[in-house]
């Protein structure tokens, strides 16, 4: 797996892809193959769909493997993931088939010591127990053939 981040731009946004963060949730290419096609090189075609469609799919990424910034903001925030403004919507929990638990929205994650972990509005939690980044998913389930119902 690649570890180097890549950038893809159109006139309005820059999409950052961090392969080391990808857990292959497949939202990107299942929902917008015109832009995100792993069979193509480069695999992201920023001219394949309107910018708002690309943003909608990037925001579904359960990790920070795909993030974006509007090009007018890039100089100020280069390398920083999606806007970190606090989300005020209730939390949504989704269990991915043969993958992690995704929690998105307004929630607090507390570790076993009772101390709040980093403040985030999206997290991908490991279900197979094999992640090197526990409690977070690092995609190892795809390598070990995890089939957690």
CB distance 144 to 103 below 8 Å: no
- CATH fold of 85-144 reads Ribosomal Protein L9; domain 1 (3.40.5)
Q: How confident is the model at residue 89 (pLDDT cuts 50, 70, 90)?
A: low
Q: What's the whole-model pTM score?
A: 0.58
Q: Which two tokens stand for residue 68?
A: 């974006």
Indicate whether 147 pLDDT > 70: no
Stretch(es) of the chain classified as CATH 3.40.5: 85-144
Cβ-in-10-Å burial (0-12, 13-18, 19+) of 55 comes to middle
Indicate whether 78 pLDDT > 60: no
Q: How far, in Å, CA of 105 to CA of 66, rounded?
A: 17
CB distance 138 to 23 below 8 Å: yes
pLDDT at 77: 41
Task: Supply the DSSP symbol for 135.
Answer: T
Q: How far, in Å, CA of 134 to CA of 137, rounded?
A: 7
Q: Which two tokens stand for residue 146?
A: 């995890």
């Amino acid at each position: 797996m690649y570890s180097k981040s890549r950038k893809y731009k159109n006139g309005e946004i820059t999409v950052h892809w961090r392969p080391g963060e990808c857990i292959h949730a497949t939202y990107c290419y299942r929902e917008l193959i015109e832009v995100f096609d792993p069979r193509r090189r480069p695999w992201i075609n920023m001219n394949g769909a309107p910018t708002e469609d690309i943003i909608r799919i990037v925001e579904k990424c359960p990790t920070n493997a795909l993030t974006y910034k509007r090009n007018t903001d890039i100089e100020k925030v280069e390398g920083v993931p999606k806007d970190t403004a606090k989300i005020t919507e209730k939390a949504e929990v989704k269990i991915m088939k043969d993958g992690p638990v995704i929690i998105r929205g307004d929630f607090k994650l507390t570790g076993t010591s009772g101390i709040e972990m980093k403040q985030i509005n999206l997290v991908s939690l490991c279900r197979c127990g094999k992640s090197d980044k526990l409690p977070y998913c690092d995609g190892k389930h795809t390598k070990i053939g995890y089939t957690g119902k």
